[in-house]
Amino acid sequence: MRLPFLKPKPLTSPAALYAAIVSAARQPEWYRDAQVPDTMDGRFAVLTSLLALADIRLERGGGGARALGPRLTEAYIADMDAQMRQAGFGDPSLGKQVRMMVGSLASKIDRWRLAVSSVEPWADVARRSLYRDLPPGEAAAEAGVAATKTWWERLQRADDGDIIAGRIA
């Protein structure tokens, strides 16, 4: 017997938030001003940096925001799977590649948690996250650091409902 008042609550889709993150990662300033390489690896670095910060913001939100975090990661996995297939990766190597990408995201989230909590310097984490061991000139690297800080501030200013809806002003 199913009781009508015990119906499972429908899950909120992460699509709007994921689309907002992807859109932010595609902004030319990352590649022009911050000089993140406009390559597959560079675009991946920006996307996962913004995604990691969004995930941390969701963790700090209310119940609806916290519940969206795992689904946001699932949207990322589905997107990476599709992108890898489009790039020509076959089934035998695809799973390994996607697992590596998910592991990379998880380690970025861990590092960004340290920056957000002021345990590690923001600039160090941002440089490592965006450029790995090959930062550009100082002015460009500072632009990258500032852009990640601005993204985090935008996430902090937005309420849970706006973030869930992908409105990050």
- pLDDT at position 5, please? 64
Q: What is the pLDDT of residues 108-147, one digit of tens each?
A: 999 999 999 999 999 999 999 999 888 899 999 999 999 9
- pLDDT at position 16, please? 97
| Rounded-to-integer distance, Cα 28 and Cα 38, Å | 9
Q: Is the pLDDT of residue 62 over 70?
A: yes
- pLDDT at position 7, please? 64
Find where tokens 């519940």 sit.
Answer: 67
Binned at pLDDT 50, 70 and 90, residue 94 comes out as confident
For the segment 85-114, the average pLDDT, to the nearest whole number, is: 84
Where exactly are the structural domains of the chain?
13-164
For the segment 29-51, the average pLDDT, to the nearest whole number, is: 95
Q: Is the pLDDT of residue 91 over 80?
A: no
- pLDDT at position 54, please? 98
- pLDDT at position 76, please? 93
DSSP states of the chain as a string?
---GGGPPPPPPPSHHHHHHHHHHHT-HHHHHTS---SSHHHHHHHHHHHHHHHHHHHHTS-HHHHHHHHHHHHHHHHHHHHHHHHTT--HHHHHHHHHHHHHHHHHHHHHHHHHHTTSS-HHHHHHHHHHTT----HHHHHHHHHHHHHHHHHHHHS-HHHHHTT---
For the segment 74-97, the average pLDDT, to the nearest whole number, is: 81
